[in-house]
């Protein structure tokens, strides 16, 4: 079996599945690292103890989607042709995900999609991830949906119910695994209330990111807070945030944090402001309210559960939402106490069980997902 990954979140979300596959005598997972990300991915692979079988090293500085896609499909096609795996596993919605599925499809190798069925309903938001997910759905034979809503979205698109399994999100498996082993250290330094901020999405780059930076400067004027921004490596992010925030002593900019340090930082924070998919899935596990800095969401479960608010990027709205949470204890407690709707930490087990069953190797697993339903 080949497991394709190329970016930081794919490594985090596939790590527990690779561990489960590797611990089982039934499968031999071979990791194909597309190298869509370089430092950010290598940092993860090292810390998560993942050994790569192939590295396509496709990343270029300021890569464009079309050229990246061409390098990915060429490299992956050749590898899958040579290796002839009995299945290709992909995760999520990145360019590596799309090209891993497409290259496998072209070679008549079946595709398993982890974190299937997320839908914002707006084809170009998030861009290009919403389209990537929909295309991967058309190509996959196994659809591992993190939530019942994601599963329902798939069956509504005529994916046979027998090909869909609700597993929970593997991000929670990894979080629980890491939490027990962590030697991570919080990056907050001041003892003030910590605002943890991550920003990188394409639709937020440019003017929106400049406006968000101004909002962070306003929030940092409060004497009771410390704003911490671990910077994504993308130059499109750094070109805006470094000049806008770099000189302010009340704002700490860091390189991407080590995963274990990031988790410790999240646990030490008061509030999370983010446009990241993975971060909004993790924060409720630490009872941290999340302000989602995006206009649409393919993860409405966390909003419905009451753990996150979709606030968009309008400076007034973001400032008001953050201020309300910092000043209103009742509101804060309500959001912080909301359940995490993304699973119970056993998603990888279910994925392994389903694949083993379908390859005729062991009976299907019995443990159903105890779904968190939000009012
Ligand atoms: C990609 C995914 C996005 C995911 C994000 C996770 C696509 C289309 N988008 O977006 O869904 O949320 O990864 O972080 O696949 N760079 C480095 N070093 C690194 C990583 C990136 O220098 O380790 C720089 C490069 O200049 C690169 C740029 O960042 O050109 C953008 O990287 P890219 O993978 O194209 O897009 P992301 O915005 O990271
Ligand atoms: N993360 C990390 N260090 C950081 C920022 C994020 O380890 O400095 C982890 C975080 O725990 C989460 C993942 O990276 O699991 C999210 O990745 P990213 O925001 O790059 O991508 P997305 O989830 O939006 O696709």
* pLDDT tens profile 86-101: 999 999 999 999 999 9
pLDDT digits (tens, 9 = 90+) for 249-287: 999 999 999 999 999 999 999 999 999 999 999 999 999
**pLDDT computed for residue 375 by the predictor:** 38
**Look-up: residue for tokens 């911490």?**
228
**pLDDT computed for residue 366 by the predictor:** 55
Indicate whether residue 173 lines ligand 2 (CB < 6 A): no
**Pocket perturbation via mutation, ligand 2, pick of 5, 8, 47, 231 by most ligand atoms within 8 A of CB:** 8
**pLDDT computed for residue 368 by the predictor:** 66
Give CA angle at 302 (182, 369), nearest 5°: 75
**pLDDT computed for residue 371 by the predictor:** 61
Known catalytic membership, residue 202: yes
**Pocket perturbation via mutation, ligand 2, pick of 278, 288, 298, 302 by most ligand atoms within 8 A of CB:** 278
Helical axes 207-220 vs 235-245, angle rounded to 10°: 40
Q: Whose CA is nearest to atom 7 of ligand 1?
A: 94
The stretches of 221-258 forming alpha helices (DSSP H) are: 235-245
Write down how long the chain is: 375
Cα of 72 vs centre of ligand 1, distance in Å, is: 14
pTM recorded for the entire structure: 0.97
**Structural domains of the chain sorted by starting position, each given as residue range(s) with its CATH number in brackets:** 2-169+343-358 (3.40.50.2000), 186-336 (3.40.50.2000)
pLDDT digits (tens, 9 = 90+) for 165-179: 999 999 999 999 998
Rounded distance, CA 280 to CA 284, Å? Answer: 7
Of 8, 10, 71, 93, catalytic: 93
Q: What strand order describes the sheet that includes 30-33? A: 54-55, 30-33, 2-5, 88-91, 111-114, 142-145, 164-166
Closest alpha carbon to 311 in 286, 291, 329, 327: 291
């Amino acid at each position: 079996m080949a497991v394709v990954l190329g970016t930081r979140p794919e490594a985090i979300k596939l790590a527990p599945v690779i561990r489960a596959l590797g611990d089982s005598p039934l499968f031999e997972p071979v990791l194909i690292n597309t190298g869509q990300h370089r430092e950010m991915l290598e940092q993860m692979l090292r810390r998560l103890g993942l050994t790569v079988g192939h590295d396509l090293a496709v990343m270029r500085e300021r890569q464009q989607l079309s050229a990246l896609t061409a390098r990915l499909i060429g490299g992956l096609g050749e590898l899958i042709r040579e290796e002839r795996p009995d299945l290709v596993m992909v995760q999520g919605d990145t360019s590596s995900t799309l090209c891993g599925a497409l290259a496998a499809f072209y070679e008549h190798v079946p595709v398993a999609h982890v974190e299937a069925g997320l839908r914002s309903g707006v084809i170009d938001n998030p861009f290009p991830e919403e389209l990537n997910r929909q295309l991967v759905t058309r190509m996959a034979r196994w659809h591992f949906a993190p939530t019942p809503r994601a599963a329902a979205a798939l069956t509504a698109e005529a994916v046979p119910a027998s090909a869909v399994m609700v597993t929970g999100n593997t991000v929670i498996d990894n979080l629980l695994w890491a939490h027990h082993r962590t030697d991570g250290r919080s990056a907050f330094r001041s003892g003030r209330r910590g605002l943890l901020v991550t920003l990188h999405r394409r639709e937020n780059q440019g003017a929106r990111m400049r406006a968000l930076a101004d909002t962070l400067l306003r929030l940092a004027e409060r004497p009771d807070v410390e704003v911490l921004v671990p910077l994504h490596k993308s130059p499109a992010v750094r070109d805006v945030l470094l000049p806008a925030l770099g000189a302010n002593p009340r704002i700490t900019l860091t390189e991407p944090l080590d995963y274990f340090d990031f988790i410790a930082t999240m646990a030490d924070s008061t509030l999370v402001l983010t446009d990241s998919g993975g971060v909004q899935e993790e924060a409720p596990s630490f009872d941290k309210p999340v302000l989602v800095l995006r206009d649409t969401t393919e993860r409405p479960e966390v909003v419905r559960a009451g753990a996150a608010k979709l606030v968009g990027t309008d400076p007034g709205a973001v400032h008001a939402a953050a201020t309300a949470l910092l000043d209103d204890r009742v509101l804060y407690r309500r959001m912080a106490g909301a359940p995490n709707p993304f699973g119970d930490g056993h998603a990888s087990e279910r994925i392994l069980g389903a694949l083993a069953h379908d390859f005729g190797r062991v009976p299907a697993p019995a443990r159903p997902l105890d779904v968190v339903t939000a009012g």
